A = this chain, B = another copy of it.
Amino acid sequence: MLNTPRRFVVVGRTATASDDFLLDDLPGTSGRLDVLLRCVRAALLVSHGLRRDTVIYLVLLGGPRAPRSMRVDGATAQYLRPDERSLAVLVKKSLAVPTTDAGFATVRPGIAVAEGGLDAVVADLGAATPFLLDERGPDVREASFEAPDAVYFLGDHQGFDEATQSRLASMGSRTVGLGPVSLHADDAIAVLSNELDRRELRSTANR
């Protein structure tokens, strides 16, 4: 299990797929890309380090260049800093690179961009057992994540759109809940990661 990366996919219904947003007003000009930037931090950055075993995809469904998707791979990413503006600069530069293909093209170390939304991400994931973070789902602490190819899908501040829900349902996704309070997506990633960290420790200890 330790050899399979931990994979998150955050679907941004309005998050811009182009680089023409203002760093000084992310919430107002980027279709709430700020929500997704915070997810990148929560998924990849820990105290004094980077989770090298984690990959996060951002599905960008907003703005004139949509849909596009971005993949940030902890194994090869460099210069990731936790503050929102630094992450925004990195994503802005990455989105400025032209893309023509539905396959992910590396634009900076550890960062790749593709034309296309969820389809491009699903193609890149390959074998995948999808879990959908949803407050109504059965509790994460009781859930079985035994599949070595688990992938965790999260919505943004608006939740999933219907097309995404149908697509994930057709992939056989199961829902997982995180507790009694509906959380921001980045906090949801923090809580889920903590559960997964605990399970990996137990699985390593049991070997």
- A interface list, Cβ under 8 A from B: 23-27, 34-35, 38, 41-42, 45-48, 81-86, 157, 178-184, 186-187, 190-191, 193-194, 197-198, 200-201
B191:A179 contact, CB within 8 angstroms: no
**Distance A45 CA – B34 CA, assembled complex (angstroms):** 15
- Chain B residues near A179 (CB, 8 Å)? 194, 197-198, 201
- Chain B residues near A201 (CB, 8 Å)? 179-180
- Chain B residues near A183 (CB, 8 Å)? 46-47, 190, 194
- Chain B residues near A35 (CB, 8 Å)? 82
Given A180-B201, A183-B46, A191-B190: A27 in contact with B84 (beta carbons within 8 A): no
Query: What 8 pairs between A and B have smallest CB-CB spacing?
Result: A47-B182, A187-B190, A84-B84, A190-B190, A180-B201, A34-B83, A191-B194, A181-B197
Chain A's interface: helix, strand, loop or mixed, by majority? helix
Given A47-B184, A180-B198, A187-B190: A26 in contact with B83 (beta carbons within 8 A): yes
Q: Which of B27, B45, B186 contacts A81 (CB 8 A)?
A: B27
